[in-house]
Structure 1
Amino acid sequence: MHVDPLPKKHKPISLTPLVDVIFLLLLFFMLSSTFTKFGQVEIGAPPASGGAGAMPKAILTVRPEGLRLNGSPIADEMLEDQAGTLMAKDIDNILVLVRGESTTQQLVTVMSVLRNVEGLTVTVAGGQ
């Protein structure tokens, strides 16, 4: 006697595991992404003339607790306005001093703000 095998029942594909995998991928990429703003600062070599450049007429000190322009504390939001005021007073050269435990992000933020001021020459110095 010849018996035909029973036809295989095809189960419908369950989408629940697929949804779980997509949710896990979404969660992974959300948690591994960074939402900080990155800046780019152009850095060039100083002139090779041994200090024959113009003396800075203003000093901006970057400290962890805030900014100081010529010794007076200023808010981070007011930096571009203050730099514009310096340009109006014919002060076109500023020295940025990085002091204490200041972060690189603070320096990048300051440099990107000062880059927006037309005609301003910025020199950066570090140290304690």
Structure 2
Amino acid sequence: MIRLEETRPRRRPNLTPMIDVIFLLLVFFMLASRFGSDRALPLTFTGSGTAYSGPPRLVELAPSGLFLNGRNIAPQDIAAALAPLMQSPDDIVVLRARDGADLQSLVTLMDSLAAAGLFRLVLVE
């Protein structure tokens, strides 16, 4: 008599080891990656009665450029242009970002002013 081989049912693959490997990779990349560094912007709160003294020092950041008291100025010249208007490095500099100005330009401006020794920055709308 001829005997045919019985068809065995197909085995379903075991996914547990693969899920374990994916989980370990996920944990590894979560621990090894850097999601970003938060940075606080140092701004002075002047609502405590500090009086503004001296000539106007309004630095406006617009999409079209940088303005000091309404006059267009190059970003690298802002510290030199502010020097004659300052009585001391502790004087307040008022920053205003106009509509359309991006945040990175404002942070870059604040960094350049801090590099020039001007730390009392007030940000207004």
TM range (shorter): 0.5 to 0.7
Following superposition, the deviation at residue 125 of structure 1 comes to 1.2
Q: Tell me the distance in 1 between the aligned counterparts of 2:47 and 2:59.
A: 24
Name 1:15's counterpart in structure 2. none
Q: Offset of 1:118 from its aligned partner?
A: 2.3
Structure 1: gaps spanning 5 or more residues = 1-37
Aligned to 2:98: 99
Contact 2:43 2:121 in 1 (8 A): no
Percent of residue pairs bearing the same amino acid type: 24
Q: State the alpha-carbon separation in 2 of the partners of residues 45 and 122 from structure 1.
A: 6
Amino acid at match of 1:83: L
Q: Does 1:64 align with 2:63?
A: yes
Gaps of 5+ in 2: 1-36
Contact 1:60 1:94 in 2 (8 A): yes
Alpha-carbon offset, residue 104 of structure 1: 0.3
Deviations 1:25-79 (A, max 9, x none): xxxxxxxxxxxxx9x5533572553xx1222631000101001101111011211
2:43·2:122 contact (CA, 8 Å) conserved in 1? no
Aligned match of 2:52 = 55
Shift of 1:102: 0.3
Q: Corresponding residue for 1:108? A: 107
Aligned mates of 2:57, 2:77 — CA distance in 1: 16
Q: Conserved in 1, the CA contact under 8 Å of 2:44 and 2:120?
A: no
User: Which residue identity lines up with residue 70 of structure 1 in the other structure?
Assistant: N
Structural RMSD (CA): 2.7
Alignment TM-score, normalising by the size of structure 1: 0.55
**What is the one-letter code of the residue matched to 1:54?**
A
Greater Cα shift, 55-64 or 104-113: 55-64
Say which SS state the counterpart of residue 78 (structure 2) adopts: helix
| TM superposition outliers: structure 1 runs of 4+ over 4 Å | none
Q: Does 1:84 align with 2:83?
A: yes
Q: Which amino acid aligns with 1:99?
A: R
Q: How far apart in 2 are the matches of 1:84 and 1:120?
A: 13
